[in-house]
Amino acid sequence: MPFRDECGVFGISPQSEAARQTYLGLYALQHRGQEAAGICSREDGKLFLHKAQGHVADIFDQPTLDSLPGDTAIGHTRYSTTGGNVASAAHPFLIHGRFGQVALCHNGNLTNTEALRTELIKEGHTFTSPSDSEVILALINRAQSTNVDDAVVEALQRCEGAFSLLILTADAIMAARDPRGFRPLAMGELAGAVVFSSETCAFDLLGANYLRQVEPGELVIVRGTTARSRFPRPKVQPKPCSFEHVYFARPDSNVFDRTVMATRREMGRRLARRHPVEADLVVPVPDSGMSAALGYADASGIPFEFGMIRNHYVGRTFIEPKQSIRSFGVKVKLNPVRDLLEGKRVVLVDDSIVRGTTSKKIVEMVRAAGAKEVHLRISSPPTTHSCFYGIDTPSREQLIAFNRDVEAIRAFVNADTLGYLTLEDLQASVRDPDGGEGFCYACFTGEYPVIPESKEPVPKSSCAATTSGGMLRKEGPAGRCGPSSKGPDAAERPPDVVPPGWGGGRHPAASDSNRVEALGSSRLPCGVPPGAPSATRGDFGTGSSGVC
Ligand code: SF4
């Protein structure tokens, strides 16, 4: 029951019924944001937009989908981070500018929004919302370049922080991830169409094949039947969000080329080995604690039971910023099964503790249902720092682990025992490819890969320091911290490259030249004939259409 979700993006081209396919895609991504949603479609070079506050099912009906014609569409489901919960901040954003109509939707948070916004306002730009996503569109519109592809590259070179973007123009659909790859963005194919989604669960709903992730730092431009890949920035160490695997992503999704369910189950197994206890039942806090609880039961041999039931029909009505209301909201959402819990020693498994108030309430509920003992197990390390990369977290002072040790937290939530996953176990569970360097763990460590411009909280290491993790280094006159993402060789790199084989995980070498890949060609760039069986995850897949 941790942080609030973030945002989900989905796009498809070319596909008849593109808006309806996007609608279904957004349905699958509803868990990533429930405050607003929108779809922008394209027909004959003209863009059509519908967006509003609310759930996907509430916003779109037959007439609204009929008003979104064409064979290409992008969509977004939103939880407010930057920009607040205001109607004007709903995505996609659509502008009419130098490059005609351009629409954009965004998952993540820029960390240099205010500096960019101030600069753009001084240059005479006006904004219609507080959203950082609108800043990206403004950068595209005011770029020096004279064609939209180069303008997007130019804009992305100015953006710091987290972004997984979909951009729609009069004749192209583009997908981009920031150089760290904080937020996920998957690429698939469906009957000749290229499909992009925050998570692969949307592909499963539509019957699309997962091909690969859009690589950190990559910009994929699809125009007609041609796709090309560019890398606007020099390569840096990717830092995908480990919390996607802890909580945000759906367990049936493949995120960062890893199955979320398998990762969470491994977290639970490691939690059981790290914090064993004599008990009668393992009970998950639904839904987010489910997979880890199964893992805990696997490793401990203690029976798994659905000892708490979640009401899935509760909207966001009860998630209010008032403590009293929030406590009531827990009761509305969760109910313990007294017959299962009465007289039992219960291992209660949840994914994280944020403020501690919700966990306290849940422990109280389980005790009130007759549990003899409640042993709380958390499948992530203590959350000690806020996130600046697209996850809505409380200020650091509001995090219960900010200035309390485990015993103090245990006493606060009133559990008999409390055990957290260690950072090392989390790194092993997500199968960090770089020994603890290959993911972002900043909300557990304070080691921010990219330091935001001026917000709380102050990271535990100063900008001048190089931490043991090597993630914080002093950088340039702008005062930005983190490894240089815009090194001196940026301008020397060829601007237009496609990684050979589209295999993913490879940033182009300077010798790579422009490569343009034909969609639907007789042989895919990865050398696999169309219609061959799907490749292993992480390789560029196949599918019958030849999308690569
Ligand atoms: S700070 Fe935490 S939630 Fe934010 S990107 Fe890093 S790991 Fe994810």
Task: Tell me the pLDDT tens digit for each residue of 498-517.
Answer: 333 333 334 443 323 333 33
Q: Which ligand 1 atom is the nearest neighbour of the CA of 162?
A: 5
Q: Which two tokens stand for residue 243?
A: 């919390």
pLDDT at residue number 518: 38
pLDDT at residue number 536: 25
Task: Determine whether the shortest distance from the Cβ of 439 to ligand 1 is under 6 A.
Answer: no
Is pLDDT of 255 > 50? yes
Task: Determine whether the shortest distance from the Cβ of 48 to ligand 1 is under 6 A.
Answer: no
pLDDT at residue number 435: 85
Residue tagged 């407010």 (tokens): 80
Is pLDDT of 353 > 70? yes
Domain ranges of the chain: 7-232+496-513, 244-429
Q: Cis bond leading into 287, ω under 30°?
A: yes
Task: Determine whether the shortest distance from the Cβ of 242 to ligand 1 is under 6 A.
Answer: yes
Give the domain 7-232+496-513 fold: Glutamine Phosphoribosylpyrophosphate, subunit 1, domain 1 (3.60.20)
Q: Which ligand 1 atom is the nearest neighbour of the CA of 393?
A: 3
Task: Determine whether the shortest distance from the Cβ of 387 to ligand 1 is under 6 A.
Answer: yes
Task: Determine whether the shortest distance from the Cβ of 440 to ligand 1 is under 6 A.
Answer: yes
CA–centroid distance, residue 241 to ligand 1 (Å): 5
Residue of the nearest CA to atom 4 in ligand 1?
387
Task: Tell me the pLDDT tens digit for each residue of 277-331.
Answer: 999 999 999 988 999 999 999 999 999 999 999 988 775 444 444 555 555 668 8
Q: How far, in Å, CA of 315 to CA of 323, rounded?
A: 17
> How many angstroms from the chain centroid is the CA of residue 77?
12
Q: Is 40 among the catalytic positions? A: no
Is pLDDT of 73 > 70? yes
Query: Strand, coil or helix: what is 280?
Result: coil
Task: Determine whether the shortest distance from the Cβ of 243 to ligand 1 is under 6 A.
Answer: yes
Ranges of H-type helices in 32-177 = 56-59, 62-66, 113-122, 132-141, 148-158
In the CATH scheme, what architecture does the domain 244-429 have?
Answer: 3-Layer(aba) Sandwich (3.40)
Q: Identify whether the C-beta of residue 93 lies closer than 8 Å to the C-beta of residue 110.
A: no
Mean pLDDT score, 353-378: 96
> How many angstroms from the chain centroid is the CA of residue 187?
14
Catalytic, out of 7, 40, 440, 481: 7
Task: Tell me the pLDDT tens digit for each residue of 424-478.
Answer: 999 999 999 888 899 999 999 999 999 877 555 443 333 222 222 222 222 222 3
CA–centroid distance, residue 332 to ligand 1 (Å): 28
Do 7-232+496-513 and 244-429 have matching folds? no
Q: Which ligand 1 atom is the nearest neighbour of the CA of 449?
A: 6
Strands of the sheet with 226-230, listed across from one edge: 93-97, 100-107, 164-168, 173-177, 219-223, 226-230, 516-518
Residue of the nearest CA to atom 2 in ligand 1?
443
Is pLDDT of 12 > 90? yes
Task: Tell me the pLDDT tens digit for each residue of 196-244.
Answer: 999 999 999 999 999 999 999 999 999 988 899 999 999 999 999 999 9
Mean pLDDT score, 48-57: 94
According to the per-residue pLDDT averaged within each range, which of 57-61, 388-392, 419-423, 457-461 is highest?
A: 419-423
* Residue 162 vs residues 99, 180, 385: alpha-carbon distances, Å: 25, 7, 17
Q: What SS3 string covers 206-230?
A: HCCEEEEECCCCCEEEEECCEEEEE
pLDDT at residue number 215: 97
